[in-house]
Amino acid sequence: AQSVTQLGSHVSVSEGALVLLRCNYSSSVPPYLFWYVQYPNQGLQLLLKYTSAATLVKGINGFEAEFKKSETSFHLTKPSAHMSDAAEYFCAVSEGNTDKLIFGTGTRLQVFP
Amino acid sequence: NAGVTQTPKFQVLKTGQSMTLQCAQDMNHNSMYWYRQDPGMGLRLIYYSASEGTTDKGEVPNGYNVSRLNKREFSLRLESAAPSQTSVYFCASNLRWGSTGELFFGEGSRLTVL
């Protein structure tokens, strides 16, 4: 069964610092991969998705992620954190060729002034 | 733009009581899903409906039933609530089955079972 592992349940950065949230997947074939963001008391919304068109994927709010098959990774980055980026971030993989998403356990990002 | 609407937003039940969580989407989406979110466990799929008239079990279906009432509405029922079902429940939808998993989520329903 496919799965994703998010390293670090909490990440803290200063405003203006680099944001790096880690995600590794387990799959024998290149999967569809996603990053979702959840702001407090809200549902999840899609940040970006990888569907094999390009290994570097740009998303909303200045976030991007790079698919690295050799490392089975799909880490999320943003060059300069903003206070409004404080939220919980979920990496997800599609199960086979279905729309059933398997989510990681989430990483809560805190941004300090 | 309502998107995905869930009711109720909060509910407290006693063990053994039943209740139904309602979900409606106004985006003309074909597929709908119910997830539960628990601390440290991310989101887990309970049931999904790939299209109107079909429903299938997800990862954690025990203790739940669903009804795809029409294209817009997908309800989740707890027949006999248990404390282990204390969770935040999210309904989601996407345009059609096979559209690479871009899900649109509701704001969640927080359920506490005493």
Q: What percent of chain B has pLDDT over 70?
A: 96
Residue A112 binned pLDDT confidence (cut-offs 50, 70, 90): very high
Distances (CA, A) of B40 to A13, A26, B44, B47: 21, 19, 11, 21
How confident is the model over B35-89, as pLDDT tens digits? 999 988 889 999 999 999 999 999 999 999 999 999 999 999 999 999 999 999 9
pLDDT at B96: 77
Q: Which of A100, A102, A105, A108 is the best mutation test for B, with the most CBs of B within 10 A?
A: A100
Nearest CA in chain A to B104: A45
Amino acid present at B53 = G
What rounded mean pLDDT belongs to chain B?
93
Q: Are B15 and B81 a contacting pair, CB within 8 Å?
A: yes
B89 touches chain A (CB under 8 A): no
How confident is the model over A60-95, as pLDDT tens digits? 999 999 999 889 999 999 999 999 999 999 999 887
Which runs of E-coded beta strand occur in chain A?
3-7, 10-14, 19-26, 33-38, 44-50, 56-58, 64-68, 73-78, 87-94, 101-103, 107-112
DSSP A61: G
Which residues from chain B sit within 8 angstroms of residue A90, using beta carbons?
42-43
Q: Residue A75 and residue A16: Cα distance in Å, rounded?
A: 19
Whether residues A51 and B41 touch (CB distance < 8 A) is answered with no
pLDDT at A76: 97
Phi, psi of B18 (to 5 degrees): -115, 155
What rounded mean pLDDT belongs to chain A?
91
Q: Residue B22 and residue A95: Cα distance in Å, rounded?
A: 26
Whether residues A32 and B41 touch (CB distance < 8 A) is answered with no
Length of chain A: 113
pLDDT at A97: 66
Q: Residue B55 and residue A39: Cα distance in Å, rounded?
A: 29
